[in-house]
Amino acid sequence: MRSFLVTLLLVAICLSVPDTICADELEEAINKYSEAIRKNPKDADAFNERGILWIEKGESDKAIKDVTEAIRLNPLHSDAFNSRGIAWRQKGEIDKAIKDYTEAIRLKHSGALGNRGILWAEQGDHDKAIKDLTELIQLDPKESIAFSFRGDSWGSKGDHAKAIKDYEEAIRLMPSNRYALNGLAWLFSTAKDPKLRDGNRAVKLASKACMLSKWKHYGYLSVLSAAYAESGDFKNAIKWQRKAIELAPNAERQDYRHRLKLYEAGNPFRA
């Protein structure tokens, strides 16, 4: 399910895989596959693998060119359709990504179910997301990542009980799944239903997510801040929200500053 993990890198969710591949390693790997292609221009797998590396480098156009060649050489190459879907997603070409994921699924590529499910969720179609991710979980009940994203969709639909169950299962399967740790911490910190909130547990979950991301993920730091606010520790809530603002892109800062004002006034944040 390598290509499924590549998608997670694209949405800044790195779990049991390394956060990034250094530039030198990427170039070395690209050169390796380029040499393989030079020796055998009909090697569809080499084109696909080089395409995946272009994706990791952020070169979606080069990726699409390579995986399209892989598909030309082998029209039944399910992984290449999945890879091209990832590249289209990287370019923001959502309809083309869905089309390629769907073809990969038709060719029995289970990872494409996860990728399409995540994309449906990003588009706000949580029913389709849940359907795809449930099918993936049925194929592989140990797929922690699928439980994480299905938990998101249940939460977005307002079914917090199912969201909690999925996040907890994701964490049980992969204790280092910081996406699930963060999602569960957010729910425990910000849910409107007081019966669902648990500030102390949220702080523990969010702290682990931040530690696993080396305290560099602004979104996780903001969730930690919300957890401290829910627990009544506004000093730490203010501290970590300020740090989140420092690291956040400009588009996020206005919303983050609003939360900071809440904490400075001694109020927790409610989603």
What's the chain's average pLDDT? 92
Mean pLDDT of 234-238: 98
pLDDT at 21: 58
Task: Quickly state the pLDDT bin for 24 (edges 50, 70, 90).
Answer: confident
The encoded tokens of residue 197 equal 């909130």
- State residue 35 phi and psi, 5-degree precision: -65, -40
What is the DSSP code string of 95-145?
HHHHHHHHHHHHTT-HHHHHHHHHHHHHTT-HHHHHHHHHHHHHH-TT-HH
Q: Is pLDDT above 70 for 244?
A: yes
Say which residue the tokens 């693998």 belong to. 49
Work out the number of other CB atoms within 10 angstroms of the CB of residue 250: 6
Q: Is pLDDT above 90 for 269?
A: yes
Please report the domains of the chain, with CATH numbers, ordered by start residue. 1-176 (1.25.40.10), 178-271 (1.25.40.10)
Position 254: which residue type?
Q
pLDDT at 19: 44
Q: Is pLDDT above 80 for 7?
A: no
Distance CA 237, CA 222 (A): 8
Q: Is pLDDT above 70 for 112?
A: yes
pTM above threshold 0.95: no
Please check whether residue 207 is in contact with residue 240, taking contact to mean a CB–CB distance below 8 angstroms: no
- State residue 141 phi and psi, 5-degree precision: -65, -5
HSE (side-chain half, CA atoms, 13 Å) at 34:
10
Q: Is pLDDT above 80 for 124?
A: yes
Distance CA 227, CA 210 (A): 12
pLDDT at 23: 80
Please check whether residue 15 is in contact with residue 176, taking contact to mean a CB–CB distance below 8 angstroms: yes
Note the pLDDT tens digit of each residue in 132-173: 999 999 999 999 999 999 999 999 999 999 999 999 999 999
Please check whether residue 209 is in contact with residue 186, taking contact to mean a CB–CB distance below 8 angstroms: no
- State residue 247 phi and psi, 5-degree precision: -90, -20
Note the pLDDT tens digit of each residue in 31-85: 999 999 999 999 999 999 999 999 999 999 999 999 999 999 999 999 999 999 9
